Amino acid sequence: MTTHKDALMAYTGQITPIQVSRLEKEKKQANYWEAQWCGDDEHNEFKVRKWQHRVRVNTRERTCSCRKWQLTGLPCCHGIAAIQRKNEKPEDYVHHKLTIEAYNRTYQFHINSIPSQEYWEHHEGLPCLPPPYKRPIGRPSKKRKKNSSEQNSGSQYNAKRRYGQITCQTCKRVGHNSRTCPDRSTRAAAQEEGIDEDEAREQEANWEETMEAAHATHIADEENLTQNHPESQPDENTDPDVYSNNCCTP
């Protein structure tokens, strides 16, 4: 409060600073509007237009067809165009509540400061005590009072989760999921029985071809290992005839 009062103490304008900035914006918009006098004797009624847009302004009643002047108390761009057509200042047509005089009257009062408790005056008499409190019977309740729109979740700490309707992905019915579906076992058996016979035959043929190829590869590997083993080859320093006789001798 004192900050606002101190800031505007040396201000000499007619209206408050915030209203001055708003009025300047309306003045810039008023340059695009053309005001024409309607011919009344008091020279107060004007027709303000811009292209195909037309409004009616009365400077004596401080009204405009757009109703912005009546709502804010500050002349709109149409009213400013009419006021400037009369060679007058828009600040003279601002509502009294927006002037600096009304602002100073609002802050003309002041708040008395209160010293700390050590400087309070001591008075004789009974001290000020709080009202008596009677403890009710039973354990105190820790639950808060719930609104009528809230649901009772059974716990005072956790709120109940709200889910939408659950749709089963197996039978496409509402009310349960695929784990608890009563048609789960029936549908699985139907899927197993629905396997095509041609596909089964093709799978069996592919399995037989794979097993034959694996068996042939295993035999070829055993033959290579037997031929390359060092005990199966004769010694180079041994006579072949002697080796053959020794092998044939019982």
Chain segment 100-149, per-residue pLDDT in tens: 888 888 888 888 888 998 898 888 888 888 999 999 899 988 887 777 77
Rounded to a whole number of angstroms, the CA Rg of the chain reads 51
**Residue 75 resides in a domain:** yes
**Residue 130 resides in a domain:** no
Is pLDDT above 90 for 5? no
The secondary structure element, H or E, covering residue 200 is helix 197-227
Tokens standing for residue 12: 């000499």
**Residue 27 resides in a domain:** yes
- Confidence band for 91, pLDDT divided at 50, 70 and 90: very high
**Residue 242 resides in a domain:** no
Is pLDDT above 60 for 229? no
**Residue 248 resides in a domain:** no
Gap between the Cα atoms of 45 and 60, Å rounded: 8
* More confident of the two residues 32 and 216: 32
Cβ atoms within 10 Å of 30's Cβ, excluding its own: 22
**Residue 143 resides in a domain:** no
* More confident of the two residues 131 and 4: 131
**Residue 154 resides in a domain:** no
Is pLDDT above 70 for 197? no
pLDDT in tens, 143-154: 877 777 766 656
Range of the domain at 79: 17-98
**Residue 195 resides in a domain:** no
| 72, 106 contact by CB (below 8 A) | no
At 248 the pLDDT is 45
- Confidence band for 187, pLDDT divided at 50, 70 and 90: low
Is pLDDT above 50 for 78? yes
**Mean pLDDT across 2-19:** 83
Gap between the Cα atoms of 17 and 7, Å rounded: 11
Q: What is the DSSP letter of 65?
A: T
**pTM for this structure?**
0.46
Number of domains, the chain: 1
